[in-house]
Amino acid sequence: MKPESKLEKVLSSGHFAVTGELGPPKSADLETLKHHAEAMRHYVESYNITDNQTAIVRTSSIGVAATLIQMGLEPNVQMTVRDRNRICLQSDLLGAVSFGVRNFLCLQGDHAKFGNEPQSKNVYDLDSMQLLQAVRKIRDEGVFIGGEKLEHPLPRIFIGAVANPFADPFEYRPLRLAKKVAAGAQFVQTQCIFDLERFEKWMEKVRELGLHKKVYILGGVTPIKSIGAARYMQNNVSGMIVPDALIERLKGAQDKKKEGLNIAVETIQRLKEIEGVAGVHVMAIAWEEVVPEIVERAGLYPRPRVE
Amino acid sequence: MIVGERKPLAEIAEMLEPFRKICVLGCGTCVTVCLSGGEKEVAETAAALSLLRQKEGKDVEIITHTLLRQCEYEYIDDYAKNMPECDVILSLACGVGVQTMATRLSEKIILPGLNTKFMGYPLEQGVWTENCLGCGDCVLDLTMGICPVTRCSKSMLNGPCGGSQYGKCEISKDVDCAWHLIYERFLKLGVLDRMEVIQPPKDWSTSHHGGPRTIVREDVRLETGK
């Protein structure tokens, strides 16, 4: 079966890929989101659509994906196991495939405690590893988790996961990636990279395990807008490392925003040089308009054309 | 053991508001050990309620007693034989005790004085921690004695997630990451390769998700119970 996903085509033909990210709004009005998507149109292969990120109620990832497809753009639908059981996850997968979604990202999801419905009941029927395995099995074997067969085989979908080199235990993190690959991950996007040294150490071990040849690794890049944003990520976002040196560098700069962009561009340039990094995932949530500039300055524009 | 915590006095006072003659009934097993519903807490609760009513200028009569176990008919029946008259029983047992009482003494009003919190153990004097959810299909063999279903905030069977940092869970710096503990335990026992095994989706039908559970043991049933 030939790839149908543009992202898969770009990666499998050896190009350094760029993916973007869109956070759905806390309303059903998608005008601003559409505007952001449009601005990135020629700069990214596909767009991650977050799934009630940090457990905050927003328009559903699949709902936004439908809008993107109407616009002729490619969504990467994020699916967390926090809010849906295996009945719903499998059914939503089929629903999304039915209207053209080809990229799925299987995630655990932030705990509901962080969101705007902290009294809700967590589901966690599956974990992210089990979801990955289930999606692969549905695609490759045409069988649901419970063992029943699909009435018709699924088209070729591209299955993604996330990896966090900045979480602990650090020694385990490359092995965890191996486990995700064994479960079915074809591409992974990493947590935002601010500590390149640690990322490189992780990649070293990933290469030792030969994983860079089995899975496309997209490094996560987030431009920092201000010292406040950097500090917030340093102290309040789980599983993230923001080195003090980076904050010092921002402090020393006259134009913080410009320096934030410089850092993002330099990060991508370094990532391009690391063996086994297949692309970047640019997460400029609430600063989407700078993505074209970052991509261009990182020497990644124009994007490759694939058939 | 089952760990409980007494409800706030104001909440108890509100639910007892319509009643004059109140029996505060303790339980001598789990909730005695975890210092929430034993003899001592019964006396404290009774005294506090009296004082409150006195302040409000409202009449009250409080009697107190503690059963060895409110979760077994045998002990309830013994007590019922000579039970003093009262308008309501405030049970300081766990939810199991309250319901067993309400079933056996169906003509009485039984109200809960505790919030039943979890199955757990005392970590140190004055600190209790949850470590079993009663999922009905124990996985402690897979993880060398640390329950990920209970102690991982996301009940992951293939952890740790990306929110684990410095040995702590993303939900709080006061909560250990269960999978970090499991990783270290595997390392210590020389079975780290267990981290590579992909655990399949759990069968939750053995847990409460399969509906309320009952165990029937034919080998120990009495003829009269059949």
**Structure confidence at residue A238 as a pLDDT band (50, 70, 90):** confident
Tokens of B67: 């059963």
Task: Enumerate the residues of chain B whose CB falls inside 8 A of the CB of residue A129.
Answer: 156-158, 198-199
What is the pLDDT at residue A1? Answer: 77
> With helix as H, strand as E and coil as C, how does chain B read?
CEEEEECCHHHHHHHHCCCCEEEEEEECCHHHHCCCCCHHHHHHHHHHHHHHHHHHCCCCEEEEEEECCCCCHHHHHHHHHCCCCCCEEEECCCHHHHHHHHHHCCCCCEEECEEEEEEEEEEECCEEEEEECCCCCCCCCCCCCCCHHHHCCCCCCCCCCCCCECCEECCEEEEECHHHHHHHHHHHHCCHHHHHCCCCCCCHHHCHHHCCCCCCCHHHCCHHHC
* Dihedral sign computed on CA atoms, order A256, A258, A259, A263: positive
Q: Which residues of B touch A178 (CB under 8 A)?
A: 196
- A-chain residues near B154 (CB < 8 A): 81-82, 108-109, 111, 122, 124, 127
For A145, the closest chain B residue by CA position comes to: B201
- Closest-CA residue of B relative to A182 is B198
Residue A307 pLDDT grade (very low, low, confident, very high; cuts 50, 70, 90)? confident
Q: Which of B156, B162, B166 sits opposite A162 (nearest CB)?
A: B162
Bridge partner residues of B165 (DSSP): B168
Rounded to a whole number of angstroms, the CA Rg of chain A reads 19
∠ Cα A189 A39 A59 (to 5°): 65
Residue whose C-alpha is closest to residue A86's, from A132, A154, A48, A36: A132
Q: The domain containing residue A244 runs over which residues?
A: 8-296
Res B131: pLDDT: 97
pLDDT at res. B223 = 78
**pLDDT per residue over A76-128, tens digit each?**
999 999 999 999 999 999 999 999 999 999 999 999 998 999 999 999 999 99
Over its C-alpha atoms, chain B yields an Rg (Å, rounded) of 22
Q: What are phi and psi of A107, to 5 degrees?
A: -130, 160
pLDDT on residue B226: 58
On whether residue A2 sits in a domain, the answer given is no
The whole-number average pLDDT for the span A140-149 is: 98
Mean pLDDT of chain A: 97
Tokens of B26: 């303790």
- Read off the CATH number of the domain in which A76 is found: 3.20.20.220
Place of tokens 């994007």: A303
Q: Is A297 helix (H, G, I), strand (E, B) or coil?
A: helix
Per-residue confidence (pLDDT) for residue B155, from 0 to 100: 98
- Do A24 and A49 form a contact (C-beta atoms < 8 A)? yes
Separation of alpha carbons A79 and A61, rounded Å: 8
Length of chain A: 307
Q: How high is the pLDDT of residue B225?
A: 61
Give a yes or no: residue A90 inside a domain: yes
Total domains in the fold of chain A: 1
CA distance A114 to chain B (A): 8
Sequence-ordered alpha helix ranges (H) in A113-156 = 128-141
Q: How far apart are alpha carbons A30 and A38 in whole angstroms?
A: 12
Measured between CA atoms, how close is A14 to chain B, in angstroms?
28
Spatial separation of the C-alpha atoms in residues A180 and B190, rounded to whole Å:
23
| pLDDT digit string, tens, across residues B91-128 | 999 999 999 999 999 999 999 999 999 999 999 999 99
Average pLDDT over residues A142-149: 98
Nearest to A169 among B180, B198, B201 (CB): B180
For the segment A280-305, the average pLDDT, to the nearest whole number, is 97
Cβ-proximal residues to A205 (8 Å cutoff; 6+ apart), any chain:
A174
For each of the domains in chain B, give its residue range(s) and CATH number, in order of start.
Answer: 2-118 (3.40.50.2300), 135-210 (no CATH)
On chain B, the residues whose CB falls within 8 A of the CB of A134 are 201
- Encode pLDDT of B147-173 as tens digits: 999 999 999 999 999 999 999 999 999
Instruction: Please answer yes or no on whether B196 and A175 come within 8 Å at the CB atom.
Output: yes
Min Cα–Cα distance to chain B from A160, Å: 15
In DSSP notation, A76-110 reads EEEEESSS--HHHHHHHHHHHHHTT--EEEEE---
Q: What is the ipTM of this complex?
A: 0.96
Q: Across all residues in chain B, what is the average pLDDT?
A: 97
**Of B197, B159, B199, B200, which Cα lies nearest the Cα of B178?**
B159
Query: B195 — contact with chain A (CB < 8 Å)?
Result: yes
Asked if residue A270 belongs to a domain, the reply is: yes
